Amino acid sequence: MKRQLELKVNGLGYSLEVDPHRTLLEVIRDDLGLTGTKLGCGGGECGACTVILDGKAVKSCLMLALDARGKEVWTIEGLSRGQALHLLQQAFVERGAIQCGFCTSGMIMASKALLDENPRPSEQEVKDSLAGNLCRCTGYVKIIEAVLSVTNTEKR
């Protein structure tokens, strides 16, 4: 039986009807058309589906959509302002922290959740926060450099 799901995504309020077995990832991608969040392993291991839920990074593939009732979700689509990229996005581009791009939205959302909570993380803290995000192209060094480069700028 479908149930009512009220939530906010990237600052916009939505009122949806969803089946209880659907994941937050499915609703974000299929119902809202926000396909920047990726389905990788579907088992919580790769981190490509990372979104920010009430300020915390979560894996949307393992979360039932109804568990986001009344909550605020941010996805990669909510970061840029028109053509102006978010500082993290800009840093990933400039540092070559992207190759195929499949892990990127998850990497950036996990990094954003970290920086929102801890604006000056150590390298170890960045690594801890990205331990649940797999990248099979770049080898992490550039990704970590990109995140750390943002921590050194005053404005974010």
Confirm or reject binding of residue 108 to other proteins (CB under 8 A): no
What the block records as the tokens of 98 is 């992207």
Sign of CA dihedral 78, 40, 42, 57: negative
Closest approach, Cβ 91 to other proteins, in A, equals 20
Contact 78, 135 (CB under 8 A): no
Taking only Cα atoms into account, the Rg of the chain, rounded to an integer number of angstroms, comes to 15
Dist CA 115 CA 88 (whole Å): 10
Confirm or reject binding of residue 44 to other proteins (CB under 8 A): yes
Task: Pick from 39, 42, 77, 137 the residue near other proteins by CB under 8 A.
Answer: 42
Closest approach, Cβ 129 to other proteins, in A, equals 5
Closest approach, Cβ 130 to other proteins, in A, equals 8
Confirm or reject binding of residue 58 to other proteins (CB under 8 A): yes
Task: Pick from 5, 28, 32, 63 the residue near other proteins by CB under 8 A.
Answer: 63
What the block records as the tokens of 106 is 């998850």
- DSSP for 94-136 reads HTT--SS-TTHHHHHHHHHHHHHH-SS--HHHHHHHTTT---S
Confirm or reject binding of residue 12 to other proteins (CB under 8 A): no
Confirm or reject binding of residue 19 to other proteins (CB under 8 A): yes
Task: Pick from 17, 30, 67, 123 the residue near other proteins by CB under 8 A.
Answer: 67
Q: Which of 82, 87, 76 is nearest to 38 (CA)?
A: 76
Residues paired with 5 in a beta bridge: 16
Choose between 9 and 26: whose C-beta lies nearer to other proteins: 26
- The footprint of other proteins (CB under 8 A) covers 1, 3, 19-21, 23, 42-45, 47, 50, 56-59, 62-64, 66-67, 110, 113-114, 127-129, 131-133
